[in-house]
Amino acid sequence: MSKVSLIGAYNTRFGAFVKKNKETGEITDLMSIYDLIVEAGRGAIRDAGLLPQDIDAVWVGACAPGLFANQEHLAPAAVEIDPEHFRFIPITRTEAACASSSVALYNAVYGIESGRFKRVLAIGVEKMSLLNTAGVTHALACCSYWPAEGGRGMTFPDLFAAYAKAYQAHYHISDEVLIRMLATVAALAYKNGVRNPLAHFGAGGPSDKYKLFSADAILQLPAEKNPVISTPLRLHDCSLISDGAAAVVLAPTALAQAEKRKTVEIAGIGHAVDRMPIGAHANMHELAAAKQAVNTAFREAGITSHDVQVAEVHDCFTISQLLCVEALGLSPDGRAGYDYLEGRFTSEDACAVNLSGGLKAKGHPVGATGISMHAMLYKQLAGDPIGVAYGKGQPEIGATLNIGGVGVTNCVTVLRRL
């Protein structure tokens, strides 16, 4: 089986692209879900040095566009990337909560490996800012197990807070230390984010304005600036509600190399799904299914954790970043928080994590996040980084860990520059 590679990538700006009329409450959409899909799709095709007629099929990952933007049946929106050439090609939408577009990418890989398609476009998108906070909370709660969780008033901060408490208890971490660990994670995200020109919390944004670039700066915020959302998680432990899209172009590696594209191979993938209710998760101090996905992806790629130089991981909450770093084996179990306290995972580390600013600072348009991780790593590996560059030269190996639900859908990709 010939492997598949990324040959182009594009990430739109992430942000809240709406204008709210303070008097009437009316919302004007400044960048629609349709606009985002078209910008990302065209951008990735251009980045690959291709034309729309070169694309055989498209996959679109989106989490809940019906709830967020009144648009189910989202796949056909991609026809507008180039109506002349995209009309009549196969376009598939996948959904896996916040891992929707990693799953889109994996199905695109299968499509190429099947021999049915050569050059394929995979897009991730979400438009979240049309709704108020209650609306967003409802839409996301539909991604938990509704009968026992969302439908009973549990929010995603509540669910990840349960993981945070289990982690704290299992590893006997004091409240004070845990809070400092989490703030350290957030501060590094903010530090990277302000140098990412596409980030929701970028230069001039709130994290820049208040210089939230150290745990101390975050911990010294007055309570009203960093309220508890769900103990132990505070506002600055939570990722952002964003609009955005990202896209990549995929092709068989042999074709990519023959055509001398900037080729970053999808060396391994892992997609492992756990039971939906967190009540069925025996151990909440770790991401059990994510570890399975890591094993699968690393085995296919023939690498170990030590080989990973750049990673983009799923920091929907700061606690999940600790869990992801451990699932990838970048820290031993129970050590990720201490590693952050010791200053690891910056651009100068052997393994840099979330140079993009992650979901916390780059933003988290949920359906876009998976492919955005791949797009940002593609640019790092291809020697054309957006924002903070890996500090030890052009990296060769990167890994993503993208999660849907509370450790339920787990997607791991190993990328290798050729």
* Per CB under 8 A, 114 contacts its own copies: yes
Interior angle at CA 368, CA 303 and CA 58, nearest 5: 85
**Minimal distance in Å, beta carbon 44 to its own copies?**
18
Nearest to 198 by CA among 400, 42, 43, 28: 43
Provide the H-helix boundaries in 127-251.
133-141, 156-170, 175-193, 206-209, 215-219
390 residue type, one letter = Y
**Minimal distance in Å, beta carbon 41 to its own copies?**
14
Contacts of 379 (CB under 8 A, 6+ apart): 9, 385, 386
Whether 194 and 203 have beta carbons less than 8 Å apart is answered as yes
**Minimal distance in Å, beta carbon 347 to its own copies?**
33
| The one segment of 92-100, 171-179, 191-199, 260-268 that binds its own copies by CB under 8 A | 92-100
In which residue are the tokens 């492997």 written?
3
User: What distance separates the 2 farthest-apart alpha carbons in the chain?
Assistant: 61
Interaction residues for its own copies, span 61-90 (CB under 8 A) = 63-64, 66-67, 69-80, 83, 86-90
Beta strand pairing status for 352-353 and 120-127? unpaired
In whole angstroms, what is the distance from residue 293 CA to residue 275 CA?
Answer: 14
**Minimal distance in Å, beta carbon 362 to its own copies?**
22
**Minimal distance in Å, beta carbon 1 to its own copies?**
5
Whether 412 and 400 have beta carbons less than 8 Å apart is answered as yes
* Per CB under 8 A, 401 contacts its own copies: no
Q: Indicate the DSSP class of residue 16.
A: -
Among 209, 275, 299, 306, binds its own copies (CB under 8 A): 275
Contacts of 114 (CB under 8 A, 6+ apart): none
| The one segment of 156-164, 259-267, 273-281, 384-392 that binds its own copies by CB under 8 A | 273-281
* Per CB under 8 A, 222 contacts its own copies: no
From the number of C-beta atoms within 10 Å of its C-beta (0-12, 13-18, 19+), residue 134 rates as exposed
Nearer to its own copies, 35 or 237 (CB): 35
* Per CB under 8 A, 95 contacts its own copies: yes
Interaction residues for its own copies, span 5-44 (CB under 8 A) = 32, 34
* Per CB under 8 A, 123 contacts its own copies: no
Whether 96 and 2 have beta carbons less than 8 Å apart is answered as no
Nearer to its own copies, 97 or 381 (CB): 97
Whether 288 and 281 have beta carbons less than 8 Å apart is answered as yes
**Minimal distance in Å, beta carbon 138 to its own copies?**
8
Nearer to its own copies, 125 or 215 (CB): 125
| The one segment of 47-55, 105-113, 208-216, 236-244 that binds its own copies by CB under 8 A | 105-113
Q: Catalytic residue positions? A: 98, 364
Nearest to 121 by CA among 272, 250, 229: 250
Assigned token pair, 100: 């929707």
* Per CB under 8 A, 154 contacts its own copies: no
* Per CB under 8 A, 307 contacts its own copies: no
* Per CB under 8 A, 405 contacts its own copies: yes
Assigned token pair, 358: 């992650």
In whole angstroms, what is the distance from residue 350 CA to residue 346 CA?
Answer: 9
* Per CB under 8 A, 107 contacts its own copies: yes
In whole angstroms, what is the distance from residue 162 CA to residue 165 CA?
Answer: 5
**Minimal distance in Å, beta carbon 401 to its own copies?**
15
Whether the upstream peptide bond of residue 232 has omega within 30° of 0, thus cis, is yes
Q: What is the dihedral of CA 42, 47, 49, 53, to 10 degrees?
A: -20
**Minimal distance in Å, beta carbon 45 to its own copies?**
17
Residue 1: CB atoms within 10 Å: 7
* Per CB under 8 A, 355 contacts its own copies: no
Among 5, 292, 331, 354, binds its own copies (CB under 8 A): 292
* Per CB under 8 A, 272 contacts its own copies: yes
Nearer to its own copies, 96 or 310 (CB): 96
Nearer to its own copies, 15 or 150 (CB): 150
* Number of residues lying near its own copies (CB under 8 A): 64
| The one segment of 108-116, 243-251, 322-330, 387-395 that binds its own copies by CB under 8 A | 108-116
Residues that bind its own copies (CB under 8 A): 1, 32, 34, 63-64, 66-67, 69-80, 83, 86-97, 103, 106-107, 109-111, 113-116, 139, 141-144, 146-147, 150-151, 271-276, 280, 289, 292, 404-405, 408-409
